[in-house]
Structure 1
């Protein structure tokens, strides 16, 4: 009996140890793995327009050139936007820190009047002004690091797209029963591709709506917040909330609670319209993901690959 249980236990331990080694390897190789994963993600999104251009009669080299040039223009625009935004944010940090310190002073006076009397050291330790106004910079820097590897991403996307049309032939050569595997693989790839394309369009609508709304009400760094809303909209349930928190906090510090409430209302309205009205028309009932699974995935992949994870 014990001899039967021992191989099972050994197999479980070996599998767990292998998983730990793989995770450690991914963590150590994240500077290379992250750009390659992003490249695969982008290639999936760009493959439908590539195939469409090929169906119109364009040669493969011309279709690839159009796709790659468009990608270069988008990455260049994002890089310039983030560079300018980071410079502006860096120059504005003393202002936001001073405003936060001022608000903390008002809050301490209010607590003193209520008889709570917190010490200044304990109160500032609870909310560090310098930390509070720079946390969102980590998110921006995460995307900035991805854009810094733009050349690697572009070449990886180019090679993936060049090989895309040859994948079925290679699978037929490698697998013993290729036709059955190809049917399942094609269905899976088509489902993922359709989801990513539709989600990208919905995220673009969300980001553009956020940026336009923030420009109208006069919030700083509106284009940056729009791009962050675009990227974070790919994270189910909590992505839009994470994207909204830094702009609401900074608006509260800079312009007061009235404008901050307007910002919160705008984010809520845009996400309700896009997420609950427009998106379900194209994605059906969605992926039926567990909120707990999404949260744990967010924590794990965030730890493994940083803000981009």
Structure 2
């Protein structure tokens, strides 16, 4: 064993750790710039298939880009309008929800007192009061206003990314000494990322649609809002479906009572089980999953660095890192550790020799 190589290895590890800490600190400091760019990159990946489809149909680039941009703008304005109208409607119905909650709480406390359970009367006004709710509404509107403020910057960045997308292979071909091998790895990486995000977007959209239809049938208020929330949080496996269900379930308790709430819970479980555990794995295939621990840690990590947007994009970002690691033989073992199942790695040479 050559011990002279040990200090350089230790120094290399320490250098990698130090570089990682510096990069993370820099990302957190530049959050205001990085978040709009990441959103623009994410939207660009989702928008590139329809753009290329239009260009293959001989539609001029400027017209195809204009059609895609109008589609993105319409979708964003639809979500913004839906959220704003739901918040306004909620503030108008607040007295009704307060009365329902007070009645249900009094009924439960009265039942507990009848069976001789000593329960102190809760001060309902401190738990659910108009001032606290309106403070939350104001915060929500401020967050929405911040997104709309950056909306122009995000759309402008999306336009430039999509315009540059077709010329990137030519530029990379001129950079690399071995363009065929390098471009092959890059195409594999980008193709896998695009496939993952496309499938995840389709699954999340279908799940949100089913949830909205189900809540309309159940008579829950704001079903479209809860469907949009399910779609957005659908990018977070396992945890996202729970986060999306909680506000709708709480509203159902106040609005419709505990009996109907049980049906809503069952509906959420069935929809997410079918979409997340049956359909999605069949479409994704092997090697495109993350372990539950990695999902949870990435949710905390990216949320700490980039805020709420980082939590929504935590799994796509981590999945991109996993795919990048899987593209190299030297780092593939890290991708295996991040995955939810055994990756399709080549068998060791020793096994092949034994079979011969």
If the length of structure 1 is used for normalisation, what is the TM-score? 0.85
Larger CA Rg, structure 1 vs 2: 2
Q: Secondary structure at the match of 1:77?
A: helix
Partner of 2:246: 245
CA deviation after TM superposition for structure 1 residue 96, in Å: 3.7
Evaluate the alpha carbon distance shift between residue 12 and residue 132 of structure 1 in structure 2; reply closer, same or farther with a 3 A threshold.
farther
Residue number in structure 1 paired with 2:336: none
> What secondary structure, in the 3-state scheme, does the structure 1 residue paired with 2:305 have?
helix
Residue by residue, what CA displacement relative to the aligned partner does 1:239-277 show, whole Å, maximum 9, x if unpaired? 111100110011112210122112112212222332344
CA RMSD, Structure 1 to Structure 2 (Å) = 3.3
Name the SS of the counterpart of 2:307 in structure 1.
helix
Equivalent residue number for residue 73 of structure 1: 74
Q: Please give the residue correspondences for 1:202-217 in structure 2 after superposition, counting only pairs within 5 Å.
A: 202-217=203-218
Q: Does 1:58 align with 2:56?
A: no
**TM-score (structure 2 length as normaliser):** 0.75
Residues 1-309 of structure 1 aligned to structure 2 (within 5 Å): 9-97=10-98, 99-100=100-101, 102-107=103-108, 117=118, 128-129=127-128, 145-285=146-286, 287-309=288-310
| Shift, 1:282, TM fit | 2.4
Counterparts of 2:132 and 2:292 in 1: how far apart (Å)? 27
Does the 8 A contact of 2:40 with 2:155 survive in 1? Answer: yes
CA distance in 2: counterparts of 1:260 and 1:142, whole angstroms: 29
What is the count of residue pairs matched by the alignment? 307
C-alpha distance in 2 between matches for 1:260 and 1:140: 28
Shift in Å, 1:3: 9.2
Task: Could you tell me which runs of 5 or more consecutive residues in structure 2 were left unpaired when the two chains were aligned.
Answer: 311-356
Verify the 8 A CA contact 1:46 1:67 in the aligned structure 2: yes
Following superposition, the deviation at residue 67 of structure 1 comes to 0.9
User: How far apart are 1:84 and its partner, in Å?
Assistant: 1.1
User: Using a 3 Å threshold, how does the CA distance of structure 1 residues 259 and 178 change in structure 2: closer, same or farther?
Assistant: same
Partner Cα separation in structure 1 for residue 199 and residue 143 of structure 2: 24
Question: Highest relative contact order (Cα 8 Å, sep 6+), 1 or 2?
Answer: 1
Q: Which range is displaced more, 267-276 or 40-49? A: 267-276
Residues in 2 aligned to 1:8 and 1:94: alpha-carbon distance in whole angstroms: 66
CA distance in 2, matches of 1:2, 1:305: 42
Shift of the alpha carbon at 1:139?
Answer: 7.7
State the 1:219 CA deviation.
Answer: 0.9
Shift of 1:104: 4.6
Instruction: Provide structure 1 residue ranges, at least 5 long, that are not aligned to the other structure.
Output: none
Change (3 A) 1:110 1:297: farther
Is the contact made by 1:101 and 1:129 (CA closer than 8 Å) also made in structure 2?
no
Deviation per CA, 1:183-216: give whole Å up to 9, x if none: 0110111111122112212211111111122122
Counterparts in 2 of 1:192 and 1:139: CA distance versus 1, 3 Å: farther
- Distance across 2 between alignment mates of 1:276 and 1:132: 38
1:158 shift after superposition: 0.6
CA distance 1:256–1:59, change in 2 (3 Å): same
